[in-house]
Structure 1
Amino acid sequence: MSVSTSLYDTIIAGAGPVGLFLACELSLAGCSVLVLEREEDPSSPLKRAPFGLRGLTVPTIESLDRRGLLAQIEARAATRTTPGTAHFMTQARRPGGHFAGIQFFHDRINTERWPYRLHGVVGGVAAEMASIEAVLTARAEASGVRIVRGAGIEGFTQTDAAVALEAGGRTFRGRWLVGCDGARSVVRKAAGIAFTGTEPEFTGYSMQADLAGADALKPGRHYTVQGMYLFTPPGTLALADFDGGAFHRSAPVTRAHAEAVLRRISDADVTVTTLHLATTWTDRAHQASTYRSGRVLLAGDAAHIHSPLGGQGLNLGLGDAMNLGWKLAATVRGEAPDGLLDSYGRERHPVGARVLDWSRAQVALMRPSQSSRALEAIVRDLIETPDGATYFAERVWGVCLRHDLGDGHPLVGCSVPDFSLGDGRNVAALMRDGRGLLLDFDPQAPLRPLADRHAARIGYAAGVANDGLGLQAVLVRPDGLVAFASDMPPDETALGSAMTRWFGR
């Protein structure tokens, strides 16, 4: 076994979107990064539309915009081709999303309930996993990240100073190791971190097939006495078979098996003539007991898994990466205040737990039982009201996600609005360099001396905002979360304390 002589600041296991985004964040902060990926070839038909299509939530969209990545992903999304036409695109009303297949619509959402949101990003952006990975890979490699494919981690040892790991017949060394290696994370298991939660109720199927007798299937999502099916003509299918997850990973999905499950769930006389692509999944919902063990950290599916209902998993993982990146970089540089790195788990674990419960609630509504159908009817009534539609939009879009950063202004712990100043500068552009940001909405710039004390880690922008939402000053962490906000000329002692808490002295 060969041994690499390099000592990387951070080694990341997994070159999916979460690992790549984290690598970009660390490299932006000046860290040396090695990414190890088990698969030789990143391409897969499951990463392309329709199966690889993901809805990006508002916090994810804002994070990508702050790093100058959003435009590239949107450009790829605009040129993608999708077989067939999604059912929701044929409707007269514009859907904003769904909860267990029950749609809420834009014409019922009351955006006035969100007083600290500026006009702009509402709803989501649809993008292929393949496109997201391509954009992130290009950014990572351009910034000096080393990506080694065909090198899955086999195990590691850690000391107080470093981690040594074996992957692809070689030994690599890093000051820190982050497991972004998926639901069956080798890193998590080797670190001895518990992974607990609820076991699956169903086996889910995603299939692309040629069908005979497809007219017997109704487009859209339907609940039956046997489960659920979602049909997008001419041959895209998603099924939920409430078998306790028994079939998942038990055997390949054959044409005959796919046909049998489809017929049983839909109760339709339909034949699968050719099965082009099929994969299974479940609603197993588990979470790591801790996101850190010594010099080993977890992010993405390595830290939490749940059903793909509602598309929350990718967004949750990218949020992990955005939260962890600047904290780990400050730790590597020796600039982190006490407890900064541990705040990653404290902040993100509750967010993950909430998403897992959101997934479980959808499964409860999907069960093929009379009780679930009765509950479904109630939710349909509620989701059609302005209060109901607004609540579901808040949760699905992530517009009201707030991390617990302590007491203070209602904006503290939320994603900073994309304020723009009279000279044309906006928050997204001001955060491209990965530093924090102090916004001073007084053109006389009274807070500049305070900002200058932290100039290496905090940018400063002063001026009258086009719409400052009544605020006078806002301190933003590098991950875009508001750390301090004031509706009046700020108490410099309180502001200075917030700066010290997150950025050190």
Structure 2
Amino acid sequence: MGLMLAAELRLGGASVVVVERLTEPSTGLKAGTLNRPSIEALHRRGLLPALRRAQQQDEWFVSFLSGGEGGERALPRFAGHFAAIPLSEALLDDSDPELSDLHPLDLVALVHQKRIEEILAEHAAALGVELRRGVELTDFAEDADGVTVETSDGPVRCGWLVGCDGGRSEVRKRAGFDFPGTEPEITAYHAVADITGTQDLGVGWQVSPTGVYINDPARRRITTIAFGGAPAERHAPATADELRASIRHVTGADVTINAITSLTRFTDNARQATTYRRGRVLLAGDSAHVHSPFGGQGLNLGLGDAVNLGWKLAATARGTAPDGLLDTYTAERHPLGAWVLDWTRAQIALMRPEPHARALRQVVGDLAGTTDGTTHLAKKIAGIGQRYDLPGDHPLVGAGVPDYDLADGSRLSDHVHDGKALLLDPAGSLRDAAEAYRDRMRTITSAPRGDDVPAAVLVRPDGFVAWAGEPDRDAVNAALETWLGAPLDVGPGNRV
């Protein structure tokens, strides 16, 4: 999340230093799915071609496409799972308007986090982000004018400090953020390994008397989920002996582990900071919220934090932010984080190996086996319908702006790579407002194609609609000042 945030800050005109404890990028197996808001955010920054290339080079993606009859098959519409209950893509409701016309964005949903991090590192470097690897934060002190950060490579003086340092965040702990939540019920292991003795196990998600597991022999992957709380040595690296014992406990198979390519251990520890800001110190990503990885929400939640915070903090650092802008970061992102924690807690409840949970699991499974059930759950997993509670009556306000096809042959996403706000004003009736914010906003006068397109739209730098409708001078001015601050001094009579 740090790289995405750093890039957004640079686009907003702020100087950035990223301090990274690791000397090299992590090679461990992590998330492999992007949701709709994340893909849209990366697309708005011009990164869709890089995501496509990364996916095309992925070994699993290549093997999947070459596995159908005739040597090639189409990419499936990803549906996912809920509490290890598979969701069939065949049951998705194609008539649902929120599922229509998802291409080409849904074609890059399956990209591994390692490749995403590589893409973001290149993106950030191209924008001039300074990345210091092998440097560890050791302490920091805040004063009225900024923050002095002590590192293993010497002190760094900055205006603001953002902790993007994971679930065990030193920044969060040292700054004194409250981090309430629920204790873990599970210990899970996720491995890519050469294992002998799994030939009698079911393939895919399976429920056992002692837990849940997923077996993917084609990719040599196995995940076990056992109930009983966190491991005794939860901060120590996972071992082959632990993996073998967990497989035996959950599946009943007495396996032999010949070699391990990747092994991670996780729990369902679910916690969230009560606020994402204390003075000049902020949190984003896992530093602000931790939960189990079911549904692939962690990566996407963190990317959303970064995109929401970047332009607001950059404007604050530049001195152009309106009063209270930085506080909207917690106000907008905290509810989404709380929803994700409950979404993952509900899945844990349905996985419990006890009679009441198994009975409820059967009911939910029956519902998930319907078109309405699959469609609802898949849309939630995909982040479709995510929005912020922003002032305004138009249905677009608070939602991500559609990628309109414009009359000049371009698309709206082609015009927001620079991270500025955007005013869509085909009639040219708001040109004076655009002039007053020309340093922070660009204007499009090419008309969008399609039905039910508003006469004008104001889009925040993060791609969310701040105002839409028929040009209303008072409303437009109010929205501009709410999100972008005071206008330039362009002389009398030049306001809308």
Normalising by structure 2, we get a TM-score of 0.91
- 1:461 matched residue in structure 2: 444
C-alpha contact 1:291 1:298 (8 A) present in aligned 2: yes
Tell me which of 27, 47, 58 is aligned to 1:69. 47
- Work out the CA distance in 2 between the residues paired with 1:208 and 1:57: 24
C-alpha contact 1:418 1:427 (8 A) present in aligned 2: yes
- 1:299 matched residue in structure 2: 284
Change (3 A) 1:264 1:431: same
Change (3 A) 1:415 1:216: same
C-alpha contact 1:108 1:389 (8 A) present in aligned 2: yes
Question: How does 1:103-142 map onto structure 2 within 5 Å?
Answer: 103-110=86-93, 112-114=95-97, 119-120=102-103, 121-122=105-106, 125-142=109-126
Deviations 1:23-74 (A, max 9, x none): 1111112211100011112242x1xxxx334200110001001111221122
- 1:40 matched residue in structure 2: 23
Percent identity, aligned pairs only, is 44
- 1:100 maps to amino acid: A
> Which range is displaced more, 110-119 or 19-28?
110-119
- Work out the CA distance in 1 between the residues paired with 2:165 and 2:381: 25
- 2:348 matched residue in structure 1: 363
Change (3 A) 1:275 1:300: same
- Work out the CA distance in 2 between the residues paired with 1:24 and 1:250: 31
> Which range is displaced more, 297-306 or 450-459?
450-459
Deviations 1:358-404 (A, max 9, x none): 01011111111122221121112212223222211221111100111
C-alpha contact 1:209 1:276 (8 A) present in aligned 2: yes
- 2:315 maps to amino acid: A
- 1:387 maps to amino acid: D
- 1:383 maps to amino acid: A
Change (3 A) 1:373 1:74: same
Change (3 A) 1:115 1:212: closer
Shift of 1:141: 1.6
- 2:170 maps to amino acid: V
Change (3 A) 1:467 1:177: same
- 1:190 matched residue in structure 2: 174
Tell me which of 143, 147, 164 is aligned to 1:163. 147
- 2:452 maps to amino acid: L
- 2:360 matched residue in structure 1: 375
Which ranges in structure 2 are unaligned for 5 or more consecutive residues? Answer: 487-496
Question: How does 1:287-436 map onto structure 2 within 5 Å?
Answer: 287-436=272-421
* DSSP 3-state at the match of 1:500: helix
* DSSP 3-state at the match of 2:159: strand
Shift of 1:471: 2.0
Question: How does 1:436-451 map onto structure 2 within 5 Å?
Answer: 436-440=421-425, 442=426, 444-451=427-434
- 1:76 maps to amino acid: A
Shift of 1:491: 1.9
Tell me which of 79, 86, 102 is aligned to 2:57. 79
- 2:474 matched residue in structure 1: 493
Change (3 A) 1:430 1:250: closer
- Are residues 1:210 and 2:188 paired? no
* DSSP 3-state at the match of 1:68: coil
Shift of 1:446: 1.9
Deviations 1:449-471 (A, max 9, x none): 22222121111112332225342
Shift of 1:159: 0.5
Tell me which of 187, 199, 204 is aligned to 2:183. 199
- Work out the CA distance in 1 between the residues paired with 2:386 and 2:287: 22
Normalising by structure 1, we get a TM-score of 0.89
* DSSP 3-state at the match of 1:126: coil
- Work out the CA distance in 2 between the residues paired with 1:398 and 1:264: 34
- 1:452 matched residue in structure 2: 435
- 2:460 maps to amino acid: R
- 1:309 maps to amino acid: F
Which ranges in structure 1 are unaligned for 5 or more consecutive residues? Answer: 1-17
- 1:7 matched residue in structure 2: none
C-alpha contact 1:248 1:281 (8 A) present in aligned 2: no
* DSSP 3-state at the match of 2:296: helix
- Work out the CA distance in 2 between the residues paired with 1:326 and 1:252: 37
Question: How does 1:250-269 map onto structure 2 within 5 Å?
Answer: 251-269=236-254
Tell me which of 115, 129, 142 is aligned to 1:145. 129
- 1:500 maps to amino acid: E
